[in-house]
Amino acid sequence: MVTPAMVTESVIVSFDKLELDCGVTLSPVECAYETYGALNGARTNAILVVHAFSGDAHAAGEGGWWSNMIGPGKAFDTDRYFIICSNVIGGCRGSTGPGSINPENGSPWAMAFPPVTISDMVRLQKLLIEYLEIPRLLAVSGGSMGGMQALEWAVSYPDGVAAAIPIATTARHSAQQIAFNEVGRQAIMADPDWNGGDYYGGKPPARGLAVARMVGHITYMSDASMREKFGRRLRTPDQFEVESYLTYRGYKFVDRFDANSYIYITRAMDSFDLTQRGSLPSLFERARTRFLVISFTSDWLYPSYQSQEIVSALRSRNADVAYCNLEARYGHDSFLVEVDEQTEMVRGFLESTFRDLERHGRLARSA
């Protein structure tokens, strides 16, 4: 293959096939990805960054969803590390998803697309990492659904990743988290333009998708951050600023996201449950990965107790885990917007992990 280089616009690589958890094999399957920084000669400085529900492969640079975390001198320092980010399977930003063409009939898959899971997402990433000829990742990191993928990496490929940084995430969705996702799905499916998922080439279910996104936005913010940002300020005599903001953001979302991907990806999140494969402690027994777990005090969508459940399980198996419940005001969005302390945590953790591996060829026990 070509030696990996800086790829700051998504490129798409096609793989022969991807076997999904549901039993279906997608063939071929496409994966959109970007890379930032340079892979070192020993190929030991690669970090996979995994996106949250509505993210994509464009993590860094202008408009990148984690551009405040990835770049020269930043938490994921592109002067030192080679950063990879790809769009998940089921997505709508370059990787194969329900809006892709079903090779069997030449039409978009729509709701005939097979259900996907968090481990399917990780399996596609594994293909990409192998394609990039990286024997072991230095780290996998992401927030929210990205954190689920980081956990999945550590459990499924214990030898494939030296360190995992799951942020603002959970080992399984709670009833409340499922419920908020279900409302979004119902809003989409209630839109007549959704048409059972067959809207490609026609009018997308913009109103339903916008309503779904509005619900999401509320859950990403905190009560306090909404009060600070909007309070009870009016935009017009008949409209509060918060109403105008949500409506604007909701309809804006329609331009860049596919409603069927919304359904498929939220279902993947809801069905994710590491404990179905055994108790959390027993799952982490095989993990040879070092962990940094981060949660945020004001995150009520992925409350800190969910991260603490992961940390307790890891500690009960004497795994190498650092945990920080960061004081933050921005709710679930904190991992995207309130990154100063997060940067310090991640930078130090990556440095010591990389140093240990370089010096000793293995992970020393962190303090």
Between 63 and 237, name the residue whose CB sits nearer to its own copies. Answer: 237
Q: Which two three-digit tokens encode residue 25?
A: 């094999």
Minimal CA–CA distance to 79: which of 134, 136, 36?
36
Between 243 and 341, name the residue whose CB sits nearer to its own copies. Answer: 243
Q: How far is the CB of 319 from its own copies (least distance, A)?
A: 24
Report the distance separating Cα 234 and Cα 229, nearest Å: 12
Between 70 and 187, name the residue whose CB sits nearer to its own copies. Answer: 187
Between 48 and 168, name the residue whose CB sits nearer to its own copies. Answer: 168
Angle (CA) 239-242-248 rounded to 5° is 90
Please pick, among 120, 299, 320, 333, the residue that the annotation labels catalytic.
299
> Would residue 332 show up in a list of annotated catalytic residues for this protein?
yes
CA-based torsion, 97, 98, 102, 108: positive or negative: negative
Cα 8 to chain centroid distance, Å, stands at 19
Q: Determine how many CB atoms are found less than 10 A away from the CB of residue 163.
A: 26
Minimal CA–CA distance to 352: which of 366, 342, 340?
366
Q: Which two three-digit tokens encode residue 31?
A: 């994966």
Please pick, among 51, 58, 173, 332, the residue that the annotation labels catalytic.
332
Between 47 and 188, name the residue whose CB sits nearer to its own copies. Answer: 188
> Would residue 173 show up in a list of annotated catalytic residues for this protein?
no
Between 165 and 210, name the residue whose CB sits nearer to its own copies. Answer: 210
Binding site for its own copies (CB under 8 A): 172-176, 178-180, 182-183, 186-187, 190-192, 207-208, 210-211, 214-215, 217-218, 221, 223, 226-227, 229-232, 240, 242-243, 246-247, 250, 270, 273, 300, 303
Q: How far is the CB of 78 from its own copies (least distance, A)?
A: 37
Q: How far is the CB of 188 from its own copies (least distance, A)?
A: 10
Q: How far is the CB of 187 from its own copies (least distance, A)?
A: 5
Report the distance separating Cα 257 and Cα 275, nearest Å: 31
Q: How far is the CB of 256 from its own copies (least distance, A)?
A: 19
Q: Which two three-digit tokens encode residue 196?
A: 């059972």
The answer to whether 59 touches 65, Cβ cutoff 8 Å, is yes
Q: How far is the CB of 245 from its own copies (least distance, A)?
A: 9
| Terminal C-alpha separation, the chain | 40
The CA distances from residue 7 to 57, 82, 89, 298, in Å, are 10, 11, 20, 35
Angle (CA) 298-122-342 rounded to 5° is 30
Please pick, among 119, 141, 144, 334, the residue that the annotation labels catalytic.
144
Q: What residues contact 239, with CB distance under 8 A and at least 6 apart?
A: none
Q: How far is the CB of 213 from its own copies (least distance, A)?
A: 10
* Count of CA atoms in the C-beta half-sphere (13 A) of 313: 24
Burial class (CB in 10 A: 0-12, 13-18, 19+), 127: middle
Between 134 and 210, name the residue whose CB sits nearer to its own copies. Answer: 210
List active site positions: 144, 299, 332
